[in-house]
């Protein structure tokens, strides 16, 4: 189902289109994609899993190039973690949802790290960002294994793969029990 609603932009008040579309994604219930953008720069994107969901955690070990195609769904409340690289991406008030793949997640992180290498005036911070960028690029080539973890307090995020392990949500700061 697709529904388009015309309403004012919350930034400039110009009439814009808000698009709501439902899709079926394997291993999930029905998903609603919500999107709106305006010439003034306002943009809103969200993904909502329709139905009742409990807090959830998905973990997948990315061992090679073929794993970069694994589908990733992150709602605006989803947290992304790559422990081997010391990466924790927590949602903020304007966090956008997305449906991508593992490589797309790495590209999003690489863009942020690239910004740090360009804007930082502090040598230790710049050197750390450059080293991280090199590791992320190796991972994007399938040459450095890593673990991708997505958690969502609302249960609307996930990793779509038979390799992914679904488990109980673990609040950050808590240490998971070894299995």
pLDDT digits (tens, 9 = 90+) for 104-160: 999 999 999 998 888 877 888 888 999 999 999 999 999 999 999 999 988 888 999
| Residue pair 89/75 in contact by the 8 Å Cβ criterion | no
Q: Any alpha helices (H) in the chain, and if so which ranges?
A: 102-119, 123-140
Q: Please give the mean pLDDT across all residues of the chain.
A: 89
Query: Domains of the chain: which residue ranges?
Result: 1-51, 53-171
pLDDT for 176 beyond 80: no
Res 30: pLDDT: 78
What does CATH list as the number for 53-171? Answer: 2.60.120.1040
Report pTM: 0.75
Res 92: pLDDT: 84
Res 42: pLDDT: 95
Fold: same for 1-51 and 53-171: no
Res 61: pLDDT: 98
Q: What is the secondary structure of 57-91 as a DSSP string?
A: EEEEEE-SGGGGG-EEEE-TTEEEEEGGGTEEE--
Which CATH number does the domain 1-51 belong to among 3.40.50.2000, 2.20.25.420, 1.10.101.10, 3.40.228.10? Answer: 2.20.25.420
């Amino acid at each position: 189902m697709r529904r388009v609603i015309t309403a004012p932009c919350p930034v400039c008040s110009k009439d814009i289109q808000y698009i709501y579309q439902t899709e079926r994604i394997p291993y999930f219930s029905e998903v609603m994609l919500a999107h709106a953008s305006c010439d003034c720069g306002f943009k809103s994107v969200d993904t909502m899993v329709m139905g009742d969901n409990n807090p959830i955690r998905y973990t997948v070990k990315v061992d090679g190039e073929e794993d970069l195609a694994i589908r990733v769904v992150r709602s605006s409340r989803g947290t992304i973690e790559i422990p081997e690289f010391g990466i924790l991406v927590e949602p903020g008030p304007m966090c956008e949802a997305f449906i991508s793949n593992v490589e797309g997640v790495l590209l999003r992180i690489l863009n942020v790290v690239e910004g740090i290498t360009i804007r930082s005036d502090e040598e230790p911070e710049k050197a750390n960002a450059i080293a991280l960028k090199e590791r992320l690029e190796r991972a994007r080539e399938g040459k450095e294994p890593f673990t991708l973890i997505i958690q969502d307090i609302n249960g609307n995020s996930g990793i779509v793969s038979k390799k992914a392990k679904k488990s109980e949500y673990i609040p950050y700061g808590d240490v998971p029990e070894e299995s």
